[in-house]
Each structure stands twice: as structure tokens, then as C-alpha cells.
Chains A and B, each alone.
Chain A
Amino acid sequence: MTTDHAAPPVPRQRGGRRSVDSGGPPVPRGSQGLGGLAGKVVVLGLVAGIAVWGAFPLIGARAWPGLAVLVVVTALIFYVYLSGRHIPAKYLLPGTLFLIAFQILPVLLTVSTAFSNFGDGHRGSKQDAIVAIRNASITQVEGGTEYGLTVATRGGELVFLLVDPTGAAFLGDADGLEPLPAGDVTVSAGRVTRAQGYTVLNLGQVGARSAEVTAFSVPTANGAIQSTGASRASERQANRIYDESCDCIVERSTGNRWTADNAAGSFVDSQGGHLAQGWRVGVGFDNFTRALTEPTIAGPFFRTLVWNFAFSLGTVFTTFALGLLCALALHSPRIRFRRTYRILLVLPYAMPSFAMLLVWRDMFNADFGLINRLFNLNVDWMGQPWTARFAVILVQLWLGYPYMFLVATGALQAIPNEMNEAALVDGATPGQRFRRVTLPLLMVALTPLLIASFAYNFNNFNAIALTTEGGPFPADNTTIGATDLLITYTYRLAFGAQGAQYGFAAAISFYIFLIVAVVSAISFRRTRRQEEVYG
């Protein structure tokens, strides 16, 4: 007794029926109706309003490319919705715009980093690195004076009012230092508090002109006087400066030089050492070849790949099996408390998944965990490879089978009873009925979901990272563990040792992506054939 809300099952026809119009079902013109028209006007009006609102900051900042993109997109939206054709586009456009902006674009940007050495120590441009090297080398001049600083303005222009340790006041500006007559200034607590002809700025006002204040320097014989915050200043000098003529960094105090290695993106000296601050350069296909050829990476790759497949297949299979079993069990109308059972069975799905992953990890703790305590075992779950693998799949089973249960329940209810009854009349046993009638029909409906679940679990980072962190690790190899997935392995390679190596990680992810994509594409092809058999 199924309560069907949908239309009664009718054979779906494939292949033969093609709409006349290339865009879809025939659309008589001018049949929109008032409600539809009003809706369209409102929505398009909103779009236009948003576009205009969004355009103002772009115009203000003279961001012409951004403005161009905005205009093009708005024009596209208007064109699609106002024209009578392009029906599919009307439905696809909103979702696709978001997809492109927030999924495709980041992915493309990330893949482009695979062709560079982007990572820790190579994040910015060469100019960024030069500035950073210079600023990191600014030191106080030997025997230089420390001043109490007051930032002031004279006619809108920034000046420094300085007080040296003896209490004498000076004016510092772009021309240098000049003593100020003592009568014109009030000095208190080592700083100028009032000065005739100058407006003293408080901290808030300094903050408003922060960039100017930090860049301001008063030239002196040995260097320049620069500020620290808004109340102190001292004479400083940069020790390492960039010399354009030799494309190198020169260290003033020692005379050391570091020449720019534009292929590697860092400044190197003659002994092979390099400065910490580097910059991002393109490296072509280096990252891709490195992933394939470096022995420490290529070696374990295959083993991890095998386990990755086993893990995702195992998860899909076990969750599906248990979910289907429960769905079958609760399928009969004769079972009471069905709704209660359903809610209780779905509870794992409702609990926050990362919380439950951490709880399960603690439950598997060898000495204090619930599993060992409850069942009086002494298994070193996370310490042995196979027990760890078992534990991880068990956790995934717990987390994932409610979802399979839900969809299997729905699918079962959709199978018309006539099929089963016909089989029964023909003398089939329950087992045969299930295998020959129910299961094939189920698979047609559920195979896309199974494939999607496989793809999701293939890259299920949290499932491993929060439970075993990839371990246990064999004593002789600390980079690849027994439960490591390709994605956790990539994460560790990229972010674990020696700083982040995004470019390299992006290259490896690209390979992972290729593998999953190919497998999924092949599975989908086979599903299509299956669909066509069953109509």
C-alpha cells in the first residue's frame, strides 16, 4: 500500500520522441500570463538594480575590466530572459553563473598554480620579495638617537616633531632635521604635545593616514629617521638593498651579494645558499613530472591508489548493503513503529559529521576507548594497519548507511507491486524475486547515486584525517600511512614538511582528479546502457 504522490508509472519513451523546436516543448508566443510577466519584470528589474549598485564601486576604482565583465553578464542575462528563444538557457543560467564564478574559476586558478612554484617562500612577486628583504633588514643605526615622536601636520602636509633624549625638539620633514625653538613647543613625557604652527594628530588621525606615516622618513647623514607606531622614532638604515644593475641584493655591512635566480625564484649566493624571501615563478611542467618521477612520491603512489579504491568501493558497498537491508526489512506494511525506526536509523546522519568522526576516533582508543572497554577486547585498533582500515570503513558505514537507507526506501516503494506478484505467480522464491526482479530495477535508479558516493568517498579527506590521520605509519616510512588516501597524502606532501607547496599539490590533485573523472565517466557510460535496457 504505497501512497504515491506522483503520477502513475507510465513507460518512458526514449530516443523516439524529439521535440520539434531545438529548445524544448513548443512555446506558443505571447502566452505568458500576467503573473509570469509581473514576475519577469520584478526579477529583471532587480537584476538591473543590482548591476547598477555593483557598478558604482567599480567605476569609482576605475576597474574597467571588472566593469566590462559586469556589463557583459548583465547584458547576457537580459538577452536570455527577454528573448523568446534559448529556453534551456533560461533555466540553466543562474546556476551556471554561480558555478562558473565560485567553482570553475577557483579550480582554474588553482590548476594554473600547478605550473608555478607557488608555496611558502614563493608567494608574491619579485618586487614583493625585494621590498620584504629590504624591510626585514632595516636596523637602527649604530649609536643612532631614539626620539619621542609626535606626528603633526603643517598645512595638511605630514611632518614629524621629534624630541631627543636631552629634551630638545626638532622638526623632521623630507628635507631633514631642523631644531625647533624651545618657546614654540611644549614637551611633556619626552614628546611634543603642542607646537605653534602645527596641528598635532592623535592616534586615530594617525591611523587614518597610516600608510603615509609608515612610509615617511626624515633623511639624515647615516640613514633616515622612521617611526615606530605613533610615539617613537629612530634613525635607521636598510642593510640589504636591491641593485638593479646586477639584479642582485647587496648587503651593505658585509658586502655579500645574492644574485637573482629568475628560474627558481630566489636570490642565491655563490655558495648555494639563498635568501628566505623568494618569489613566484612559472616552472612549466616541473611539478607534474616531479609527481611522477620522484621515487619517494611515485613509489607509494600506487599502493595508496589501490587502498583508495578499496576504501571507496568498500564504503559504497557496505553502506549500500546495510542501507538496502534495512530498507527491505522496513518495507513491509505489517511492521509497526516504522516511522520511529526510520528516525532512529537516520540519527547518525543528523549528528554533525566531524564531531562524530572525532568521537569514533576516541572510541577506538586502545586503552581508554569505548569499543575495547565495552567488548572487553585488547585490540590496538589504530596501531595495526588492517585494524585501522577496518575501523575507518566501519566509521564510514555508520556515517553513510542512513543516506542509502533513505534512497533505497524510496526506490523500493516505487517498484510497482505487480512485478513482484507476477513473479510470485510464476513460482519464484523470495530470493529469486529479489535477485531477478527487485534488485535490477533498484540498480537502475540507484547507480548514479552509488557512483556519486564513490566519487565523494574517493576524496573524503575528513574521514581519514580526523580519525587516523593516515596512520599507522610503518617504522621506515613516515610519509605514507596504511590508511592514507591520495588526498590526505597530497595534503601532507603539500602542507606538511618544509612549508606549503601549493603548486606541487595542485599538480598531484590534478592527477587524482583525472583518475576519478575517468573512472566516473566510464561508469556513467555503462549506466546509460543499463538504463536503455530497462527503459
Chain B
Amino acid sequence: MTWVRRVGWRHAVALLAVAFSLFPVVFVLSAAVNPLGTLNSTALVPTDVSGENFDDLFRTRPFESWYVNSILIAGLSSFAAVTLSMCAAYAFSRMRFRGRRVGLLSLLLIQMFPQFLAIVAIFLMFTTIGEYWPGIGFNTPWGLILLYLGGALGVNTWLMKGFLDTVPRELDESATMDGASHAQAFYRIILPLVAPILAVTGLLVFIGTINEFLMANVFLTDLDSKTLSVGLFGLIEGERNNNFGMFCAGSLLTAIPTVMIFQFLQRYIVSGLTSGAVKG
């Protein structure tokens, strides 16, 4: 009885939650392996199993290119975004300067402006940029990454700042006392301590970038240079298409890098995530 009270209920909750999480995913899986590949002909449990949709996906579309593009763009963006964000968070947390509070709040507020309206402005900007420096203009992944970096400072900076706040100032000060510069204190002492939050933020930005559609649709128009989100959307765009099976196959494959990264970072993410933030 105590087992039920102490542990059993936990398993029950976890199992229910897992069922809730998984059943749409199982549906997607069964649609992906269903050779008929349409919505109506798919049940929750796969009835007919075949790799046809996966084959078709690779055959009729440059899926590998999409994959590489997405991973490249998302990987670089998340790395750069985490770096920029971390530096800024360090400044917000450790230093006191005019406009600190206002700056923090405005970081959050700026991102609340609806993206789809800014498209016109972004078109204008990148047309000009593309005229002078075609290497980072339209239809280049670098231009897209630059655009994403505009959003590097935001909620993530808040997250990081909160965690940095919990790392005691004494550490900084003892380091500088020992003759290190502020940069060295930052790299050598602080950074390793906040590895968990770096991992979390990196993962979040990675997921967000892979899912981003609006800008990628406009920026990357060559069939080969599209990202996964745009390419997959094109599969089922216009009601006249019934590539549901291929679409599900593609979605499953898209989830793989995220899951792998999560698995790899699990020990960073979960242990000591907000360590010290909550204390007595």
C-alpha cells in the first residue's frame, strides 16, 4: 500500500502523461508507414507497414538537402544565439548600469510584435543588403541566420540572467582578486557553472529555428536550399495534395535531431537547472 502511495501513483501519472503525449505521435508514425498515405486510410495502430512513404520522400524531393540545410542553419543559429545571449545576460546580471532594468524589460517586449507584419520591412532591408553584399542577401542561409540572430536577445537572456543571478558574486570577485580580468573570470569561472542553462537555451533555440517557417519561406526559394519546415509544408500545401504519408514520414525524421540532442544534453538539462535560484 505504501508502495502505491509513495511510488505507484507516480508511475500512474507518468504513464497517463506518456499516453497523452504519444498517441498523436503514434498516429503520425502509423500514417508514415501506411502505404496508402492518406489521412482517411490511417488508424491509430498501423495496419499495413511499408517504407514506401520514406522512399517517395527521398525520391521525389531533395529531402537530404533540406535536412542538411535545417541542421546547419539551426545549429549555427543556436550556437551564435546562445553566445550572444550569454554575454548579454552576464552583463545584465553582474553589472549595474543605466538602463539595465528598462533594457531587460524591453528585450521581452520587442519580441511581442507580430512577425508577419515586419515582412515588408525585412524585404526592403534585405533587398538593399543583397544589392551590396549578395553573399548574405536573399536565398542564402547566411542572410537567414543573420536575421535569426536579431532575435537572439530575448526571453532566453532572461532565463540565463536568472540563473546567473544564483551564481554568487564572491566567485567573480575572488577570481578578479587573483588577477584575472573580467573576461577571464567570465570564461573560466562562470561559464562552466552555468553549463545547464546553456544547454537548455541551445536546445530551445534549435527547436525554435527548425520550426521557423515565415522567413525561411521567403528567403530560401531554390528547391534544394529549403529548410525542413518549408519543404514539409510544401508537401501538403494547397488542398489539392494528399501527400499525408510522406508528410508524416518527414515530420518523424525531423524530430530525430532534436531528440538526439535532448538525450545528449539530458544530464546537463535536468540536473541543477535552476540550482541555487530557489533557496532559503
Given contacts A6-B276, A106-B125, contact A363 B91 (CB under 8 A): no
Which of A199-207, A301-309, A333-341 contacts the other chain?
Answer: A333-341
Provide the bound-state CA to CA distance between A416 and B278, in Å: 8
Partner of B182, one of A17, A24, A110, A513: A24
- B164-209 contacts to A (CB < 8 Å): 165-173, 176, 179-186, 193-196, 200, 204, 207
Interface contact A414-B272, CB-CB below 8 Å: yes
CB distance from B50 to the nearest CB of A (A): 20
User: How far apart are the CA atoms of A180 and B126 in the complex, in Å?
Assistant: 49
A368-B273 contact in complex given A54-B133, A350-B262, C-beta closer than 8 Å: no
Min C-beta distance of B8 to chain A, whole Å: 10
Chain B neighbourhood of A506, CB < 8 A? 117
User: Given the complex, which residues of B lie within 8 Å of A441, measured CB to CB?
Assistant: 278-279
* Cα-based distance from A63 to B194 in the complex (angstroms): 44
Q: Which of B18, B170, B193, B236 contacts A5 (CB 8 A)?
A: B193
Contacts A356-B24, A448-B162; A362 near B39 (Cβ below 8 A)? yes
Is A326 a contact of B13 with CB atoms below 8 Å? yes
Is A360's CB within 8 Å of the partner chain B? yes
Closest Cβ of chain B to A27, distance in Å, is 6
Query: Does any Cβ of A come within 8 Å of B277's Cβ?
Result: yes
- On whether the beta carbons of B17 and A322 are closer than 8 Å, the reply is yes
Annotate A267-304 by CB proximity to B: 1 below 8 A, 0 otherwise: 00000000000000000000000000000000000000
Is chain B's interface secondary structure helix, strand, loop, or mixed overall? helix
Q: Within residues 43 to 62 of chain A, which ones have a CB less than 8 A from any CB in chain B?
A: 54, 57-58, 61
> Are A102 and B147 closer than 8 Å at their CB atoms?
yes
**Complex CA distance for A458 and B17, rounded to whole angstroms:** 25
Chain B residues with Cβ under 8 A from A95's Cβ?
Answer: 84-85, 87-88, 152-153, 157
Which of chain B's residues have a CB closer than 8 A to the CB of A373? 43
Tell me whether A452 and B251 are in contact (CB under 8 A).
no
Point out the residues of chain A lying under 8 angstroms from B247, CB to CB. 355
Q: Does B218 contact A (CB under 8 A)?
A: no
Main secondary structure of the interface of A (DSSP, over half): helix
Determine which of A6, A335, A419 lies in contact with B280 in the assembled complex, contact meaning CB atoms within 8 Å: A419
Q: Are A459 and B17 in contact (CB under 8 A)?
A: no
Contact in complex: A449, B159 (CB < 8 Å): yes
Rounded to whole angstroms, the CA-CA distance of A26 and B210 in the bound complex is 42
Tell me whether A136 is interfacial, beta carbon within 8 Å.
no
A23 contacts the other chain (Cβ, under 8 Å)? yes
| B271 → A minimal CB distance (Å) | 5
Q: Is the CB of A368 within 8 A of B39?
A: yes
List of A residues within 8 angstroms of B96 by Cβ: 18-19, 22, 24
Min distance, Cβ A484 to any Cβ of chain B, angstroms: 14
A–B pairs, 11, beta carbons within 8 Å: A4-B271, A23-B97, A26-B176, A27-B176, A88-B91, A335-B7, A355-B247, A398-B24, A414-B272, A448-B162, A461-B114
Can you list the 6 inter-chain pairs with the closest CB atoms, starting with the nearest?
A: A410-B273, A102-B150, A109-B121, A95-B84, A91-B91, A350-B258
